[in-house]
């Protein structure tokens, strides 16, 4: 049986097109075989789609981008170029 701790906050789960609660997933997992539970746990780590006992699960994992130093990369923010007199096609030689 799954626990609430097994389902992390960075994982998005849909059950037959709807978003279930952790308690609903725990209730469904009571009837799963050991093999089905292991498959679901694996998909919680890597994401994917699976049908378990006629229930269609779609799991996506949101991962943070990590740079070469092991730190979380921040997104690139485009510069504000309004009011600048710079030619965007200029190439320095």
86 assigned to some structural domain: no
Q: Considering the domain boundaries, does residue 51 fall inside one?
A: yes
Q: Does any domain span residue 48?
A: yes
Task: For residue 12, tell me if it sits in a domain.
Answer: yes
| Cβ count near 52 (within 10 Å) | 19
Quote the domain boundaries for residue 51: 4-61
Whether residue 79 lies inside any domain: the answer is no
- Ordered DSSP codes for 38-69: HHHHHHHHH-EEEEETTEEEEEEE----B-TT
3-state secondary structure 23-36: HHHHHHHCCCCHHH
In the chain, how many domains are there?
1
The stretch 25-52 carries a mean pLDDT of: 94
Handedness of CA 73, 74, 78, 83 (dihedral sign): negative
pLDDT digits (tens, 9 = 90+) for 45-66: 999 999 999 999 999 998 777 8
Indicate whether 18 belongs to any domain: yes
The predicted pLDDT at position 13 comes to 95
Mean pLDDT score of the chain: 87
Residue 89, domain member (yes or no):
no
| Least-confidence region, from 24-28, 34-38, 66-70 | 66-70
């Amino acid at each position: 049986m799954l626990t609430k701790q097994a389902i992390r906050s960075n994982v998005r789960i849909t059950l037959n097109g709807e978003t279930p609660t952790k308690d609903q997933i725990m209730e469904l997992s009571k009837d799963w075989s050991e093999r089905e539970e292991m498959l679901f746990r694996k998909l919680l780590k890597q994401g994917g789609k699976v049908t378990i006992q006629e229930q269609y699960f779609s799991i996506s994992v949101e991962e943070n981008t990590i740079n070469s130093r092991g730190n979380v990369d921040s997104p690139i923010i485009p510069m504000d170029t309004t009011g600048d007199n710079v030619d965007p096609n200029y190439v320095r030689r």
